[in-house]
Amino acid sequence: MSGYTGGYMGWLSPEEWQVLLLSLKVSGVAITAVLPLAFALAWMLARWRFPGKVLLDAVVHLPLVLPPVVTGWLLLLTFGTNAPVGHFLSETIGLTFLFRWTGAALAAAVMALPLMVRAMRLSLETVDRRLENAARTLGAGPWRTFFTITLPLATPGIMAGLVLGLARSVGEFGATITFASNIPGETQTLPLAIYSALQLPGTELQVARLAGLSVLLSVSALALSEWLARRNAQGKDRHVL
Amino acid sequence: MSFDIAMTLQRGTVRMVYEFTAGPGLTALFGPSGAGKTSLLDAVAGLVRPAEGHIAVSGTTLFDRARKINLKPEKRRCGYVFQDHRLFPHRTVRTNLLYGWRLVRPAERWLSIDLALDLLGIGHLLDRMPATLSGGEAQRVAIGRALLSAPRFLLMDEPLASVDAHRRGEILSLIERIRDELKLPILYVSHDRAEVERLAHRIIPVEPVHG
C-alpha cells in the first residue's frame, strides 16, 4: 500500500487506505456476486407459485432478523474448513473463507441478500403483467418481453436494491468478525477497523477519521444511485432507434 | 370461416362455454359486464388457456385441446387493442408503434409506418411519452401499434372505454375505416348497443353461461 502515501492521496495514512480499499473490494465483490442470486430469488418469490415458497422466503429473510453474530456462527457451521460446503469448495475450486477477505465478502453478501431481494421483489411485483401480455401479442417471446418491458420497468427497484445492499455490506460488522475474524489487511473492513481503534487508548482522531470515511462512502453510494436513477429516467429510449 | 370457436374456459369455480362461427368483417360480441367477453378475447390471443375445445382463425388452428395444439401468443399474429390502451410507459409513442413492427419479417408487413400515421393522425405525437397523451390519443396509438405488428386478425376490447365522450365519434369512424379498408377479420367486444349496431356485420350475444 506504500504507493498511496504520496501526492494528493497523502491525506489518508497507508493503513487507512488499506482499510478503505479492502472495504471497497469486499463490498464490490460481495454485491456483484450476490446480485444474480438476489434477482433470481426475487423473481421466484414475485412470480412463481411452488411448494415451500414460504420456507424459502423465511430463509432469505433470516439474516435480516437474526443477530448478526448468529449468522456468522451459521456461516462457520456451513462454510468452515471442516464443514460440508466449506470442505467441498476448498477441495474442488480451492475457495476458502476462514480468515480471508473472501470470508468477509461472503458474510457481507449474506447480510445484504435479504434487503436486495426485498427491494427487487417489490419492484417486480409492481410491473404490470398486462403490459407483458401486450408485448407477447405484439410478437415478443418471453425473453424479449423480459428485457424490453419487465427489466426496464423494474430498474429503479433493482437500483434501490443494489444501493441498499451496498450500504448494508459496507457497514457489516457482526457476521464478519464472527466468521472471517478481524485481521488487518485481510478481513479488517471499515467497521472492524473502527472497532479495533476503539479498543486502544488515545485513538479518538483515528476513530473520527475512519468514521468520517464511512459516512463519505455511504453518501457517495446514495449520490451514485440518485445519478443512476436520473440518467435512467432521461435516456430511456436511447437504445432503440 | 374467419372465426371458428368452441371452447370452455375455467375461471375459478365458474365454467364458461363459448361456441360460434363468424365470417369476414367485424363480429361484435355483445353482452353485459362480467359475461366473460374479455376472457374470450384473451383466450383467442393465447393469454388464457381454455380447458377444452378449439380456436381457429381464417383456417389456422390456434388452439385445439384434442390435437394438443396451443400456439404461443407471439405466434398467433393477432392485433389486440385493449380496453386500457396498455402503451409501454417507458417508451415514446414512436418506439411503442415500432415495437411489433420490428418483430415482423419485412415481407409480411402490410402497412407502412407513413400510412399508419396518416390513417390514425398521430404523426405529431411521435416523440411524446404515453403518460402525456389524452385517452383518445393513447387509444389511436394503441390501435396503430397493433396494426403495425402486421396482424392476421384484430381483437378489440371496448376500445372506446377510456376515450372522452366527445372524442368517441372520431375513433368510431377510424374503426369503420379499418373495417372497410384493411379487410381484417375483427372480433369486437362491447356492452354498448348503439356502438355495436353501428359497427358490426353480425352480433353474437355473450351471456354468462355457467356450465
For residue B98, which residues of chain A lie inside 8 Å, CB to CB? 240-241
Q: Are B172 and B140 in contact (CB under 8 A)?
A: no
Domain ranges of chain A: 14-234
Which grid coordinates are listed for B187? 372480433
Residue A120 has pLDDT above 70, yes or no: yes
Residue A74 burial class via C-beta count within 10 angstroms: exposed 0-12, middle 13-18, buried 19 and up: middle
**pLDDT grade for A238, boundaries at 50, 70 and 90:** very low
- Asked, for residue B110, whether it belongs to a domain, the answer is yes
Q: How many residues can be counted in chain B?
A: 211
Between chain A and chain B, the number of residue pairs with CB atoms below 8 A apart is 71
Q: Each residue of B22-50: pLDDT tens digit?
A: 999 999 999 887 788 999 999 999 999 99
Residue B189 has pLDDT above 60, yes or no: yes
Task: Give me the domain span that covers residue B115.
Answer: 24-46+72-205
Q: Are A41 and A110 in contact (CB under 8 A)?
A: no
Helices (H), B124-200: 135-148, 168-182, 193-199
Fold of A14-234: MetI-like fold (1.10.3720)
What is the structure's pLDDT at A239?
38
Unique residue bearing C-alpha cell 502515501: A5
Which residue in A has a C-alpha nearest to residue B102's C-alpha?
A139
Q: What is the pTM of this model?
A: 0.85
CA angle B109, B49, A135 (to 5 degrees): 35
Q: Is A114 helix (H, G, I), strand (E, B) or coil?
A: helix
What secondary structure, in 3-state letters, does B51-113 show?
Answer: CEEEEEECCEEEEECCCCEECCHHHCCEEEECCCCCCCCCCCHHHHHHHHHCCCCHHHCCCCH
- Asked, for residue B84, whether it belongs to a domain, the answer is yes
Is A139's CB within 8 Å of B77's CB? Answer: yes
Q: How many residues can be counted in chain A?
A: 241
Q: Each residue of A165-217: pLDDT tens digit?
A: 999 999 999 999 999 999 999 999 999 999 999 999 999 999 999 999 999 98
| Element spanning B11, H or E | strand B3-11
What is the structure's pLDDT at A94?
87
Question: What are the distances in angstroms from CA B161 to CA A120, A229, B2, B84?
Answer: 34, 34, 26, 8
Least confident of B43-52, B123-132, B167-176: B167-176
Which residue in A has a C-alpha nearest to residue B145's C-alpha?
A138
Q: Is B140 or A5 the better-scoring residue by pLDDT?
A: B140
Residue B190 has pLDDT above 60, yes or no: yes
Q: Each residue of A56-108: pLDDT tens digit?
A: 999 999 999 999 999 999 999 999 888 889 899 988 898 989 899 999 999 99
Residue A240 has pLDDT above 60, yes or no: no
Per-state percent for chain B, helix, strand, coil, to nearest 5:
35, 25, 40
- Asked, for residue B102, whether it belongs to a domain, the answer is yes
Q: How many domains in chain B?
A: 1
**pLDDT grade for B210, boundaries at 50, 70 and 90:** low
The answer to whether B74 faces chain A, any CB pair under 8 Å, is: yes
Nearest to A134 among B46, B86, B90 (CB): B86
Measured in angstroms, the CA of A222 and the nearest CA of chain B are apart by: 24
Residue A3 has pLDDT above 60, yes or no: no
Least confident of A190-204, B5-19, B115-129, B140-154: B5-19
Query: Please, which residues bridge with residue B61 across strands?
Result: B56
Q: Are B36 and B206 in contact (CB under 8 A)?
A: yes
CATH, residue B201:
3.40.50.300
Residue A196: closest CA among A209, A207, A180, A205: A207
Nearest to B90 among A137, A138, A236 (CB): A236
The average pLDDT across A15-27 equals: 93
- Asked, for residue B41, whether it belongs to a domain, the answer is yes
Question: What are the distances in angstroms from CA A212 to CA A48, A165, A188, B140, B188?
Answer: 44, 20, 17, 56, 66
What is the structure's pLDDT at B209?
63
**Between the CA atoms of B187, B191, B197 and B201, what dihedral angle is there, to the nearest 10 degrees?**
20
Measured in angstroms, the CA of B194 and the nearest CA of chain A are apart by: 28
Query: Please, which residues bridge with residue A203 across strands?
Result: none
Measured in angstroms, the CA of A10 and the nearest CA of chain B are apart by: 46
Query: Please, which residues bridge with residue A3 across strands?
Result: none
The average pLDDT across B190-194 equals: 89
**pLDDT grade for A159, boundaries at 50, 70 and 90:** confident
Single-letter residue type at A180: A
Residue B88 has pLDDT above 90, yes or no: yes
Q: Are A135 and B145 in contact (CB under 8 A)?
A: no
Q: Is B124 helix (H, G, I), strand (E, B) or coil?
A: helix
Complex prediction ipTM: 0.94
Cα(B72)–Cα(A229) distance, integer angstroms: 35
Which residue in B has a C-alpha nearest to residue A131's C-alpha?
B86
Residue A237 has pLDDT above 90, yes or no: no
Q: Each residue of B93-112: pLDDT tens digit?
A: 999 999 999 999 999 999 99
Q: Each residue of A137-157: pLDDT tens digit?
A: 999 999 999 999 999 999 888
Question: What are the distances in angstroms from CA A135 to CA A154, A168, B57, B86?
Answer: 16, 36, 21, 9
